Amino acid sequence: MRKIGVVFLSLLFLCARAQAASRVLQADYPSLAARADINYAQPVARGEEGLPAGNGRMGSLVWTTPHTVHLQVNRVDVFGNDSSTTSFPERHSDYCGGCGFVDIDFPEFGSAIFPTNRTLQHLDCSDGLVSVEGDRVKLEVLAGMGNDVMAVRVTDDRRRPGTISINLRALRPPQVRTVDQLASSEFSNSASNQVFLTQGFSEGSYYCGSAVGIAVAGRAVELRKSNDSEWRLVVRPGRGAFTVLISSAASFKRDEDLRAAASALLNSAGRTDFDRMISENRNWWADFWSKSFIHLHSADGIADTLQQNYEYYLFVMASSSRGSYPTKFNGMLWITGGDLRKWGGEYWGANQSCLYNNALFAANHDELMEPMFHMYCAMLDSCAEAARQQWGSQGVFIPETVAFDGLAHLPDDIAAEMRDLYLCRKPWNTASQHFLDYAAVRQPHSSRWNWIQSGSWVQGRWVARERGAGPFGPVTHTFSRGAKIAYQYWVHYEYTGDEQWLRDVAYPVIKGEAELYRNFPNLKKGDDGKYHIYHVNSNESIWDAQDTDEEISSMMGIFPAAIRASEILKTDDQLRSSWREVLANLAPLPVNSSNAVPIWRRGIAPAARGFVSGRPDGNTMPAFFFDLCTLESDPAMRQVGGATFDAYFPSGFAQRRVSVLSKLPLVAAVLGRTDAVKELIPSQVLHPEVGIMANRMDLREGQQTTSIQRLGNAADALHTALCYDLPPGPAQASVIRVFAAWPKEWDAEFTLLCRGGFLVTSAMKSGDIQFVELESKAGGECRLRNPWGDGAVELWRDGQTHTNFSGGLLSIATSRGEHMVITRANATPEVYKRVIR
C-alpha cells in the first residue's frame, strides 16, 4: 500500500462549539483519489485498455499506436433508432453512442514517437487528467466538467519538430441505409479553421443528430480533406505547446443547428488556456471527492486493492453519468471501434443495476443516479400505455430491456391479440400471421418481443425464428425490474427526505408499479384466500411459472413503499386501502421445504422452462433487494435467508468464483457474514475469468462492451459491510450499524451517507471500533445499533457529554445540520484528529 503518512494532532475533543462541526477524521481527498490512478510504462496492446477521459456526457478512452494518440468521441445521448424502429430485427445490429474518431498523428519517417520502451501514460483521478509521454512529445487530455469540450495540450520538444496532423474521421460512409433507417455523415469547416463532423439518424418521425467540432489554439493550422470520411487539421511544425479543442453536441430535433452549438463551445473554450481548464477540473473533482470517503488497509494488501477499485468505480461513474441518459452497461462512454456494440442500444435492467445501485446513494453521490431517474420518468407515458395495451392492466410497465424512450405505441388489433397471447388466454399456435409478421421486424432484445430467438435474411426479408416456448423468452414476462427501479426512487427519498421530489418524481413511478400489479389480470385470489400470480418469469431462466420469487418479492416490496409514500403525501386513501388488502393476502415467497431449514426457491411449477425448485438466481437475489431480509428482520425470515445463502456454497466461500452480475457479495454483507464478505468481495473485483484489462475494466458482455459492472456491485457490498443502514422491512425506519459485516483483520475508516440523511464517520483498527460521528443533514431520529454491544456510551454535543445511555439500540433525536460524536462511556475526552491520506 502506498501511504503518504498519518498526521496526529492532539487537541481537546470538541472543546468549543466552533469545533463541534469539524470531523474527527480529516480526509486528504486528493491523496485518497490518487490511489485509483493508473500508470502504464508502455503502450497497451488494444484500444479498449486506454485511459478514460470524460465529463459524464461525452468522453473517450485515450490510447496509442507507434505514431498516433487515438480517441473516439462518444456521448450518452446519441441513439441510431428509437423504440419504434423496424430496421434492426437482427440481434446486435443497432448502435448508439459514437460521434467520431480523433487521431493526433505524428507522421514521422523512421522511429516511433510512442515506442514500446519509452512511452509513459498516467490517469490522475484527482483531476481527470490523462497524460501520455513519448519520445520528446507529451500530450495531456482532459474533459471539461463544465462544458462539452475535451482539450488536449500537445507539447513538442523534438530537436526538429515535424508536422502534426489532427484527423477527424467519420464512423461510416456519408450515407448508409439500413432498411428504413438512414445514417448520414457530413463534414464542414469554418473560416476560423474549425472542422466539423455532423451525423444524422432518421427513420420515420424519429431523428437524432450529433456534431463533433475541432479547433487548434496556439498554433497555425491548415485544413485538408483526405476523403469523404476524413478531414485533417495539419499543424505548423514548431517546438512548444498548443491545444487541440474537441467539442460535441447532440439533439433529437431535426432543425437544431448542432454545428453552431459545437462551434460556440469551441469559441468559448478557446478563450481559456489549458492551465485554467485543469484548475477548473481540479476544483470540480475536489468537491466531488469531498462528499465521502473510505480508507481500507489489510496486511495482505487485499483491502487496499478493494479501496483502489472502489475509488476507480466512483471516478468512472462521475466521468460517464452526468447526462440526460444513463451510461450504458455495454461500453459506457468507452467504446473504441465505432458505435456498434454487442447487445445494441437497448438498456438491460439487470446490467444497469450493477452500475446504478445503492452504492451511489451511500457515497453521497445521488446526482449520478439522476440520468437513470430522468430516463425512466421521460418514458413513463409510454410505459403507462404499455401496461394497458400489452397487459390489460393499469399503472406503468417498465420492462427488463427497453429503448431509451420506452415502448412503442401498438395498433389496437396488435395490442388486443398480444394481450390474449401473452396472458395465455389464447393458445400460441393460433397467433395470426398478421401478428407474427408485425413482430418479425421488431427488435428481439426488447422485452416485448424477446420470444424471438434470431432469424435470417431470405431474399431481402428478415425471417424470425422463435425460441419455442410460445410468447415466453428470457425477459418477456418480467415485471420485477419496474418494481426494483421504483423501489430505488423510494430509497432516494429515504436518503434525502425530499418530500417535493417524492411527490413530483418518485410517487408516480411507485404508484404506477403498485397499480400494475394490483390490476394485473393474472394476479388472482385463489381458494386459499391468497393472491397468486401466474404465467410469469424469474429472471432470465425461469419462464411461465407461478408465484416466482422475483414477482412475489417485488409485490412485498413495492406495496409497502406505495402505502408509506401515500401516507406521507396524504393522498390516494382509497388506493392505499386496496394495496393493503393485496399485501395482507399475498402468497408467500416459495420455499423448498425438503431441506432441514427451508430455502427460497424460484417459483411453483409448472414452468415452460427452468428448474423452479432451485434456489434463487445469484444475480438477482430478489428477497434481499427490497429490504425483506436484513439483520433487523424477524428471526424466521433471517433463518430462511441465511439457509438460502449458505446453499450457494457447498464447498465453502473460497471455492466459488463470483460473477460480474452476482449479488452474493452484497447479500453476504446484508446478512452480516464477515466470513463470506472477506472472500466474496475480492473474488468479484478480481475475478480472473472476465478478462480484466489493464484499465480495470472488462469486456464480460462481448465485443465493444467495456464496463465496470463488477466494481459497482462490489461497491454496494463494501458500503453495506462498512456502514449498514437497512430497516426491518420495506419502507420501515432504517437502523445504522457500523462495521456490521466487516472483517476484524481489515482496518477501515469512512464517511458514508445513510438513509435518513445521516452522514456517518467511523473507524475500526485491529477490530476495535473507535467512535461514531454523525452529521444530521435532514434532522429527525437516528436509530443506531450500539457498536460496543449493550455497554454504556456517551454522546458528545457542543463540546460536552450531553447524554449517557446504554442498550443495544440507541435512539438519538437530531436537528438539521447537527454534528455529534458517540464514544464508549468514560472514554478519554481527548482524541486525535487524524488526516487520512
Residues 198 and 67 grouped into a single domain: yes
Contact 827, 794 (CB under 8 A): yes
What are the φ and ψ backbone dihedral angles of 832, each rounded to 5 degrees? -110, 125
Of the candidates 338, 333, 330, the residue with the CA atom closest to the CA atom of residue 317: 333
Cα–Cα distance measured from residue 245 to residue 153, given in angstroms and rounded to the nearest whole number: 9
Residues 15 and 147 grouped into a single domain: no
CATH code, domain carrying 758: 2.60.40.1180
Grid cell for residue 788: 460496543
* Interacting residues of 491 by C-beta distance below 8 A, sequence separation 6+: 358, 361, 755
Asked whether residue 298 is domain-assigned, the answer is: no
Kind of pairing, strands 830-836 and 25-27?
parallel
H runs (alpha helix) in 205-342: 258-269, 274-289, 302-320
Residues 16 and 41 grouped into a single domain: no
* Residue at which a domain ends, from 290, 306, 327: 290
* Interacting residues of 597 by C-beta distance below 8 A, sequence separation 6+: 639, 640, 643
Distance of CA 698 to the CA centre of its chain: 15
* Residue at which a domain ends, from 270, 290, 310: 290
The single residue listed with the C-alpha cell 466487516 is: 742
The reported pLDDT for the residue numbered 594 is 78
Packing angle of the helix pair 549-569, 507-518 (nearest 10 deg): 130
Of the candidates 749, 618, 734, the residue with the CA atom closest to the CA atom of residue 307: 749
* Interacting residues of 637 by C-beta distance below 8 A, sequence separation 6+: 628, 629
Percent helix / strand / coil, the chain, rounded to 5: 30, 30, 40
What sign does the CA torsion over 418, 424, 426, 429 have?
positive
Contact 3, 826 (CB under 8 A): no
Cα–Cα distance measured from residue 256 to residue 238, given in angstroms and rounded to the nearest whole number: 39
Residues 23 and 160 grouped into a single domain: no
Cα–Cα distance measured from residue 623 to residue 548, given in angstroms and rounded to the nearest whole number: 11
- For every residue of 159-199, DSSP letters joined together read SS---EEEEEE-SS-SEEEETTEEEEEEEEE-TTS-EEEEE
Asked whether residue 614 is domain-assigned, the answer is: no
Contact 96, 78 (CB under 8 A): yes
Grid cell for residue 118: 519509452
* Interacting residues of 207 by C-beta distance below 8 A, sequence separation 6+: 200, 201, 252, 253, 254
Q: Give the HSE-up count for residue 578: Cα atoms under 13 Å, Cβ half-sphere.
A: 11
Grid cell for residue 515: 397499480
Quick one: 116 exposed, middle or buried, by C-beta within 10 A (0-12, 13-18, 19+)? exposed
* Interacting residues of 658 by C-beta distance below 8 A, sequence separation 6+: 664, 665, 680, 683, 684, 687
Asked whether residue 795 is domain-assigned, the answer is: yes
Cα–Cα distance measured from residue 605 to residue 609, given in angstroms and rounded to the nearest whole number: 10
Of the candidates 41, 49, 62, the residue with the CA atom closest to the CA atom of residue 120: 41
Letter for the amino acid at 777? Answer: K
Distance of CA 826 to the CA centre of its chain: 44
CATH code, domain carrying 231: 2.70.98.50
Q: Identify the helix (H) or strand (E) that includes residue 750.
A: strand 747-754
Asked whether residue 726 is domain-assigned, the answer is: no
Q: Which residues of the chain are modeled with pLDDT < 50?
A: 1-21, 829-832
Beta-bridge mates of residue 235: 164, 221
Letter for the amino acid at 166? Answer: I
Residues 94 and 113 grouped into a single domain: yes
Is the bond preceding 606 in cis, omega lying within 30 degrees of 0? yes
Could you tell me the maximum CA-CA distance found in the chain, to the nearest angstrom?
89
- For every residue of 198-235, DSSP letters joined together read EEEEEETTEEEEEEEEEEEESS-EEEEEEETTEEEEEE
The single residue listed with the C-alpha cell 474521421 is: 169
Contact 549, 485 (CB under 8 A): no
The reported pLDDT for the residue numbered 833 is 54
Contact 161, 239 (CB under 8 A): yes
Asked whether residue 463 is domain-assigned, the answer is: no
* Residue at which a domain ends, from 256, 290, 324: 290
Kind of pairing, strands 240-251 and 206-217?
antiparallel
Q: In this structure, what DSSP letter does residue 446 have?
A: S
Kind of pairing, strands 461-466 and 800-805?
unpaired
Q: Can you point out the beta strands (E) in 597-652?
A: 599-600
Distance of CA 547 to the CA centre of its chain: 29
Q: Give the HSE-up count for residue 595: Cα atoms under 13 Å, Cβ half-sphere.
A: 17
3-state SS track over 357-378 = CHHHHHCCCHHHHHHHHHHHHH
Residues 173 and 68 grouped into a single domain: yes
Letter for the amino acid at 615? Answer: R
* Interacting residues of 227 by C-beta distance below 8 A, sequence separation 6+: none
Residues 745 and 772 grouped into a single domain: yes
Distance of CA 724 to the CA centre of its chain: 20
Residues 153 and 246 grouped into a single domain: yes
Residues 273 and 229 grouped into a single domain: yes
Residues 141 and 15 grouped into a single domain: no
Please tell me the pTM assigned to this model.
Answer: 0.95
The single residue listed with the C-alpha cell 415485471 is: 479
Contact 194, 204 (CB under 8 A): no
Query: For the chain, what's the residue count?
Result: 837
Q: Give the HSE-up count for residue 678: Cα atoms under 13 Å, Cβ half-sphere.
A: 17
Grid cell for residue 591: 420455499
Asked whether residue 144 is domain-assigned, the answer is: yes
Structural domains of the chain, count: 2
Residues 137 and 279 grouped into a single domain: yes
Distances (CA, A) of 354 to 340, 357, 365, 466: 22, 6, 16, 30
Of the candidates 681, 656, 50, 668, the residue with the CA atom closest to the CA atom of residue 307: 681
The single residue listed with the C-alpha cell 466461500 is: 653
Of the candidates 195, 304, 213, the residue with the CA atom closest to the CA atom of residue 250: 213
Residues 43 and 21 grouped into a single domain: no
CB atoms within 10 A of CB 104: 24
Q: What angle do CA 736, 294, 818 make, to 5 degrees?
A: 50
Full domain range(s) for residue 269? 35-290
Grid cell for residue 181: 433507417
Contact 181, 79 (CB under 8 A): no
Asked whether residue 534 is domain-assigned, the answer is: no
Contact 754, 362 (CB under 8 A): yes
Grid cell for residue 597: 431449514
The reported pLDDT for the residue numbered 55 is 98
Of the candidates 673, 657, 768, the residue with the CA atom closest to the CA atom of residue 717: 673
Asked whether residue 566 is domain-assigned, the answer is: no
